Amino acid sequence: MEPKKRIVQEKLKDFLGDLGAKKSAPGGGSAAALSGALGISLVQMVANFSVYPVKSPGTYGGGAAKPLFNRANSPQIREILQKTRQIKKELIKLIDEDAKAVSAFFQKENSFSKRRRAKQRMKNIPVKIFQNCEEGLKLIPYLAKKGNKNLLNDLRIARILLKAGAKAAKELTEMSN
């Protein structure tokens, strides 16, 4: 059965409920894309905090504060921000695309050709998830070196989430071959 509303419009609690339910979708592909989307969102947060001046702790108001990063890096970080937006948008789209492809594949009334097209989509989506997660991972080293140093733990978690999304997508790709 086709999902009535887009997964990304659901509350996280509802999505996780559906993920754990006795349903064909959402499944592993949507979970992999969500993992990647969570990871790239953390990369985006670090970039956002790194591109604008951040005052040192305790210097609210008119006090002079040293930025916690080098302002000269802002053009590169702005470019990273743009890339994070693109990757996140794609991964969010893939959460739904995977659920739709899986649902279409398991519909009983589908013809052979519809089922074959759905299976092909189910093969292609994990490849896209993998590629987007890998692209997100490439953004982390620069931010770790030049970004806001107070957010290095967030980058570590982003790396874990992006790697998990990539690994899950790779597993799905290998299983479908």
Q: Has residue 166 been placed in a domain?
A: yes
Domain extent, residue 116, equals 26-175
pLDDT tens, residue by residue, 136-152 = 999 999 999 998 899 99
Q: Has residue 15 been placed in a domain?
A: no
Q: Has residue 20 been placed in a domain?
A: no
**Confidence band for 133, pLDDT divided at 50, 70 and 90:** very high
The one-letter amino acid code at 94 reads L
CATH of the domain at 124: 1.20.120.680
**Confidence band for 60, pLDDT divided at 50, 70 and 90:** very low
Q: Can you give the pTM of this predicted structure?
A: 0.80
**Confidence band for 12, pLDDT divided at 50, 70 and 90:** confident
Q: How many CA atoms lie within 13 A of 163 on its CB side?
A: 7
With vertex at residue 94, the alpha carbon angle to CA 77 and CA 112, rounded to the nearest 5 degrees, is: 155
Q: Any idea what DSSP says for residue 2? A: -
- Around Cβ 129, how many Cβ atoms within 10 Å? 32
Distance between CA atoms of 97 and 93, rounded to whole angstroms?
6
Q: Which residues of 65-94 are buried (b: 16+ CB within 10 A; e: fewer)?
A: eeebbeeebbebbeebbebbeebbebbbbb
Instruction: Identify the burial level of 126 via C-beta atoms within 10 angstroms of its C-beta, where 0-12 means exposed, 13-18 middle and 19 or more buried.
Output: buried
Bigger pLDDT: 175 vs 127: 127
Q: Taking Cα atoms as reference points, which of 111, 102, 50, 53 lies closest to residue 76? A: 50
Domain count, the chain: 1
Bigger pLDDT: 83 vs 103: 83
pLDDT value of position 160:
98
Q: Has residue 19 been placed in a domain?
A: no
Q: Has residue 2 been placed in a domain?
A: no
Q: Has residue 134 been placed in a domain?
A: yes
Q: Has residue 77 been placed in a domain?
A: yes
Q: Has residue 8 been placed in a domain?
A: no
Q: Taking Cα atoms as reference points, which of 80, 85, 97 lies closest to residue 32? A: 97
Q: 83 and 103 in contact (C-beta within 8 Å)?
A: no
